[in-house]
A and B are shown apart, each in its own frame.
Chain A
Amino acid sequence: DSGVTQTPKHLITATGQRVTLRCSPRSGDLSVYWYQQSLDQGLQFLIQYYNGEERAKGNILERFSAQQFPDLHSELNLSSLELGDSALYFCASSVDGQDWGWNIQYFGAGTRLSVL
């Protein structure tokens, strides 16, 4: 167990709908990262939050948004869902100390989203 908690584990919804994925980082970790992994695909970085602020952005669609709350948990909101959004969504967290480029990322178990 990595200490990163993601809910729900599975989500089935229809095209056009909106869903929210939740992530609780490891205790003490200030950074949260979101990744998308489609079938037979690699890990695509979506976005990073550090202590409540957006720090880095990857290939995140405009239909997707995220935020990190004061208690450091994060939510990824996916709207106007399309069939192609079906994927595993992983959250990871890291401490991000002084030398933050070196911090190890620990992954949650993921949320499997199926858009029908």
Chain B
Amino acid sequence: GENVEQHPSTLSVQEGDSAVIKCTYSDSASNYFPWYKQELGKRPQLIIDIRSNVGEKKDQRIAVTLNKTAKHFSLHITETQPEDSAVYFCAGVSSNTGKLIFGQGTTLQVKP
């Protein structure tokens, strides 16, 4: 069935360091991969997304890479800041079902 695995579950970095969160998916029909950031008690907010016809996408300090062959995609945050501290969810959308399947989430802590 459809499944998205996300690692690590928690990540602690020093301010200014980079953070990398990795996800793998099982559904080969997945064609769209959004990343959401959720601050404590708030709604998940889309921060970046990538479609299956693209290998990499960058938006300021955030980048996402996709390896369709290996069914991997990753979120890279450079020059981390304390306000980057949140839970990050990866997700995959199957073109067959349209269902958005979320990973388990990564709690990122950026220490000042």
Contacts and interface: CB of A to CB of B under 8 A. Distances in A.
B31 A45 contact: no
B43 A55 contact: no
Contacts of A105: 34, 46, 100
Given A42-B102, A42-B105, A45-B102, A102 B43 contact: no
Q: Which size class do A's interface residues fall under? A: 20 to 34
A28 interface: no
B44 interface: yes
A93 B105 CA distance: 21
Contact of A48 (B32, B34, B98): B98
B99 A102 contact: no
B101 A45 contact: yes
A109 B99 contact: no
Interface residues of B, number: 25
Interface string B22-65: 00000000011010100000111110010100000000000000
Interface string B66-102: 0000000000000000000000010001111111111
- The 5 A-B residue pairs with the shortest CB-CB distance, nearest first, are A101-B95, A107-B43, A43-B102, A102-B32, A42-B104
9 contacts: A42-B89, A43-B105, A45-B99, A45-B102, A55-B98, A100-B98, A101-B31, A104-B46, A108-B43
Interface of A: 2, 33, 42-43, 45, 48, 55-56, 58, 90, 96, 100-102, 104-110
